[in-house]
Structure 1
Amino acid sequence: MDRAELFQTVLDSIIEGVILIDKDSKITFMNKQASLMLGIPVSQVINKSVTDAIPNTRLHIVLKTGVPEVNRIQQLGNTKIITTRIPIRDKTGAIIGAVAIFRDITSVQKMAEEVTNLREIEVLLKTIIESTSDAISVADENGRIVMVNKAYTKITGFSAQDVIGKLATVDIAQGESMHLRVAQTRQPIYGARLLVGPGKREVIVDVTPLFVRGEFKGSVGVIHDVSEIAKLTKELDEVKRLIRRMGAKYSFEDIIAESSKMKIAVTQAMKVASTPATVLLRGESGTGKELFAHAIHNASDRRDKPFVSVNCAAIPESILESELFGYTSGAFTGAKKEGKKGLLEEAHRGTIFFDEIGKMPLLLQSKLLRFLESKEIVPVGGTKPVRIDARIIAATNMNLEKMVQEGSFLPDLYFRLNVFPIFLPPLRERREDIPYLAQHIIKKLNQQYGRLVEGISSDALRKLIHYDWPGNVRELENIMGRAMINMEADERIIKLHHIPPLEEIRHFSSITKAGSHKQLLLEYEKGVILKALEENSWNVQKTAENLKISIRTLYYRMKMLGIKREGRRI
């Protein structure tokens, strides 16, 4: 092999493209790699002018100027190359040609960009983990810690240098490492209680496995400080109380009243709103009594003061007294050291709304009566009266007059509350309001459901108008919501077939007409206790054990339900 063949063999073996031109700018040599990158056969370019054969070339410029061009990036179609162009001189320094050496860097640049992106993502993730207030630790597939954040150090007392590279048991003072358990089971763990760090801090840990393309690569743990949770819970309670104080969000503009009966109720409410008079809102469940209470408060001169809402049926009887009247320090086991304001005191200079006032126990009825007469309360465990200026709005769906006759509601309290009664008509007596209520509910549910429902068809509306509505407006909203759920995403009008069957609701109504929901429950409870007593030959201790209640509770329920021990019912 002569020198020329050796020269060509070497240049054809390298990964760079090489092109040589003579002093007349004609191509004298091009290796195989250059041919592949340019997509031009060698035979088509030899002895041809470089400007005619090679697109975007600058070899002829380097030949003319004698100035080398080093590491220049150039685009060739979809390929990006890095090229160096050098003039060739003879022994005297005269330019006799030029050479271009270039390499395809498309894949190299893509890899570099990917590496750069990965580094940027890594930095971003680290920044996010560091900035979060949750304590985070990350372990590899073997349960060794690879990353922790500052919040982790704050809770455990261990720095990153203390734990990285060590087994995840390093920070456990008492309990099992959840990272190691997840490494064994490949399953997430939530709500594990542990003691961590030198200070044995109590924490709750959630650990989730990490999978990359289906392969387990480790786990990430989020550590919650129990003491911090307790603090946040206390703050949340305070916020709830604040929200409860500021909860009057409706006005008379929110009340739909096209029917004559509803217009009368609104007119009465607007007249009494400007006075300090006690208001008793009467009406079936779902007729809008709470809405009226909000509107009356917001139309009064107390609108900028607290509005406190109390559902007498929702608060357990055992704590209702302390909730209403507050308590002093050490009033009972579990009481806060600093004591606690009651809801009546929170409503000072504002309005307090007693919903379902008929469900208030007799003992508290007498205390509420004393407040209405004296405008003073005495907190539980206290001796010093506190003067309160709070307007009373009460609401009920019960027959208070009958309750007074039966002795379950104090007559004096009834007369104190019944200063200005407002009767809210049931929906079946204000059917002309239904089209307006339906449209209002559609707008409200559109926001909640993220829908674009525009209205309701005439036949669907006709069905709603002719229904009896035992649940009133609350039931109408329920039916409208179910109808919207039955619609397809692209439908805009509620049609008859979207309305759910109303017969089942009418059947429920006919059942409950025989007695109230509470009465039916009491009858059922009486039957259960009687059956258990008979099965245990009226042995009260065995009966209580079978029912999983205390003997004292069983005796109390028997007395309340009118069951005599010898089997005769009262």
Structure 2
Amino acid sequence: MNGDKWADMKSLAEEIIGLKEMQTFLEAIINSSEDAISVVDAWGNGMMINPAYTRLTGLTSEHIIGQPADADISEGESMHMKVLQTGKPVRGVHMKVGPKNKDVIVNVAPVIVDHVLKGSVAVIHDTTEFKRLTRELEKAKRIIRKLEAKYTFQDIIGTSEPLIHAVEQARKSALTPATVLLRGESGTGKELFAHAIHNESTRRYNQFIRVNCAAISDQLLESELFGYEEGAFTGAKKGGKRGFFEEANGGTIFLDEIGEMKFNTQAKLLRVLQEKELVRVGGSKPIPVDVRIIAATNVNLEKAIQNGTFREDLYYRINVMPIFIPPLRYRKEDILPLSLHLIRKFNQEYGRAVMDLHPQALTRLQDYEWPGNIRELENVLGRSIINMKFSETHILLGHLPELVNRKAPLEGPLEVVSIQENEQEKLSEILSRVEKETVLRVYEQTGFNKTETAKRLGISIRNLYYKLDKYDAC
């Protein structure tokens, strides 16, 4: 054997040894990785897996090497084959693998040598821990939502005069410890105002607890608000229970639908307001509490006092800072910005890309009286988006559900009422009736403009709000 041939063989042997060393080195790297890795050849047959892959999937080399690329998949399609077909990498694909249907995310890249596709390599991540952490995060968020107010004044959408007036009053009230009474029809956003007031107050870092007085029975509401002592009633917890007022100590409690609260519970609430203390159900020891109360109602409390269903002394305690939230029919210029805000919300929830309202659809919304207020507007827009095709980006007139005004507007000028119409009617009742008819007539004549109405009647804007609410017109 001549020297040249010996040199060539020696060089080839060294190259082979080098390749084997390199292969051993690469295998050591792959095997030491904490990420699960699988490799297939250009025909989609398994070539290599690492120990992390076996730990994750429960599959060994016997199950994978030489087998088709989808041998490990229990749900989904092979990303190895997709990469081999396209020559392009894929990332973040969810699937289930192995006999235990393990949830994983797969990233797969092609292996190209000298411009030739030789196979593909996949890195597989277990999402079990990620899902557990996500569940824990959602649980924490739910707890936080119970303890904190979610909304601020920036979340109150609209630039109409009645809304701006209400927001200004709310901002002023937030800077004081005074009890606030939010008044307005159902669906006008009273809870949103309550959240915003709390978040702008000095109590913003303490708890915010909402209580729907209409949704809890009278007996249960009392124990939920004020707590109870052990043995106070059958089924009472050992050691008793703290009520909402104790839980909200240092923070704010929002009493929604306070007009539905029963008389005996009102008496206990009055004590909290007057004495800054409470007594648990079944107990006798007064417990001091420092809680800011925000109440809300869509009930005419003045009528409730006359009917004997609401305490007059409690009314004066909670009516320190009354704020009237206007119904949507009195702020129709806010319908467009409100609609666009709600459309963006539904886009996120439904995975849509709706951009705007067609002018005809907007006109239909503005012509409607909205007895359900913003809550009804949200319902209508949600149904409209569901009725749209995925390719449509504008809400058209045909997408809207049927909207029929139930309450006809006042027709013609109101006649002057004659005292002789009812000789048994008291003077105070006659004056109240005439006042109501006059206020409503002027209010309609000004196109429901509160500033102009107050000017024509010669009263303050705040006094007008009181009268409109008194006569169920606000």
TM over 0.5: yes
Aligned to 2:145: 243
Q: 1:304 to 1:113 in 2, by over 3 A?
A: same
**Is 1:455 paired with 2:387?**
no
Alpha-carbon displacement from aligned partner over 1:171-210 (angstroms, at most 9, x marks no partner): xxxxxxxxxxxxxxxxxxxxxxxxxxxxxxxxxxxxxxx9
Aligned equivalents of 1:498, 1:463: Cα separation in 2: 11
Cα RMSD between the aligned structures? 3.6
**Is 1:287 paired with 2:188?**
yes
Aligned equivalents of 1:218, 1:65: Cα separation in 2: 53
Q: Which has the higher contact order (CA 8 A, sep 6+)?
A: 2
Aligned equivalents of 2:274, 2:379: Cα separation in 1: 41
User: Structure 1: where are the runs of 5+ without partners?
Assistant: 1-22, 24-60, 74-107, 128-209, 221-235, 511-570
Indicate if the aligned counterparts of 1:328 and 1:380 stay in contact, CA closer than 8 A: yes
How big is the shift at 1:337?
2.3
Aligned equivalents of 1:453, 1:493: Cα separation in 2: 6
Indicate if the aligned counterparts of 1:270 and 1:296 stay in contact, CA closer than 8 A: yes
Aligned to 2:55: 123
Aligned to 1:255: 156
Aligned to 2:334: 433
* Residue aligned with 1:413, SS: helix
Alpha-carbon displacement from aligned partner over 1:225-265 (angstroms, at most 9, x marks no partner): xxxxxxxxxxx99986653221x122222212322111221
How big is the shift at 1:115?
6.6
Aligned to 2:290: 389
Indicate if the aligned counterparts of 1:62 and 1:69 stay in contact, CA closer than 8 A: no
How big is the shift at 1:381?
2.3
User: Which structure 2 residues correspond to residues 80-479 of structure 1 after superposition, within 5 A?
Assistant: 114=46, 116-117=48-49, 121-126=53-58, 243-246=145-148, 248-479=149-380
Indicate if the aligned counterparts of 2:158 and 2:338 stay in contact, CA closer than 8 A: no
* Residue aligned with 1:421, SS: strand
**Is 1:481 paired with 2:413?**
no
Aligned to 1:48: none
Q: 1:369 to 1:237 in 2, by over 3 A?
A: farther
Indicate if the aligned counterparts of 2:57 and 2:100 stay in contact, CA closer than 8 A: no
Q: 1:219 to 1:288 in 2, by over 3 A?
A: closer
Aligned equivalents of 1:486, 1:329: Cα separation in 2: 54
Amino acid at match of 1:114: G
* Residue aligned with 2:215, SS: coil
User: Structure 2: where are the runs of 5+ without partners?
Assistant: 17-39, 60-95, 103-137, 409-474
Aligned equivalents of 2:169, 2:47: Cα separation in 1: 74
4+ residue runs over 6 A deviation: 61-64, 66-70, 108-112, 217-220, 236-239
Alpha-carbon displacement from aligned partner over 1:297-339 (angstroms, at most 9, x marks no partner): 1222222222111111222333211211112233333333233
* Residue aligned with 1:249, SS: coil
* Residue aligned with 1:270, SS: helix
Amino acid at match of 1:316: S
Indicate if the aligned counterparts of 1:245 and 1:309 stay in contact, CA closer than 8 A: no
Aligned equivalents of 1:338, 1:241: Cα separation in 2: 23
Q: 1:430 to 1:66 in 2, by over 3 A?
A: closer
Amino acid at match of 1:285: S
Amino acid at match of 2:46: E
Indicate if the aligned counterparts of 2:41 and 2:47 stay in contact, CA closer than 8 A: no
Alpha-carbon displacement from aligned partner over 1:394-439 (angstroms, at most 9, x marks no partner): 1011122222222221222122112221111111111111111111
* Residue aligned with 1:286, SS: coil
Task: Report percent identity of matched pairs.
Answer: 52
- Equivalent of 1:501 in 371, 378, 402: 402
Aligned equivalents of 2:382, 2:212: Cα separation in 1: 25
* Residue aligned with 2:167, SS: helix
* Residue aligned with 2:187, SS: coil
Aligned equivalents of 2:247, 2:170: Cα separation in 1: 24
Aligned equivalents of 1:396, 1:303: Cα separation in 2: 23
Indicate if the aligned counterparts of 1:257 and 1:266 stay in contact, CA closer than 8 A: no
Which of the two has higher C-alpha Rg? 1
Q: 1:419 to 1:491 in 2, by over 3 A?
A: same
* Alignment TM-score, normalising by the size of structure 2: 0.59
Indicate if the aligned counterparts of 2:226 and 2:243 stay in contact, CA closer than 8 A: yes
Q: 1:399 to 1:122 in 2, by over 3 A?
A: same
Amino acid at match of 1:330: G
Q: 1:396 to 1:112 in 2, by over 3 A?
A: closer
How big is the shift at 1:458?
1.1
Q: 1:382 to 1:493 in 2, by over 3 A?
A: same
Aligned equivalents of 1:350, 1:467: Cα separation in 2: 39
Aligned equivalents of 1:431, 1:218: Cα separation in 2: 57
Amino acid at match of 1:467: Y
How big is the shift at 1:393?
0.9
* Residue aligned with 2:267, SS: helix
Aligned equivalents of 1:376, 1:313: Cα separation in 2: 24
* Residue aligned with 1:352, SS: strand
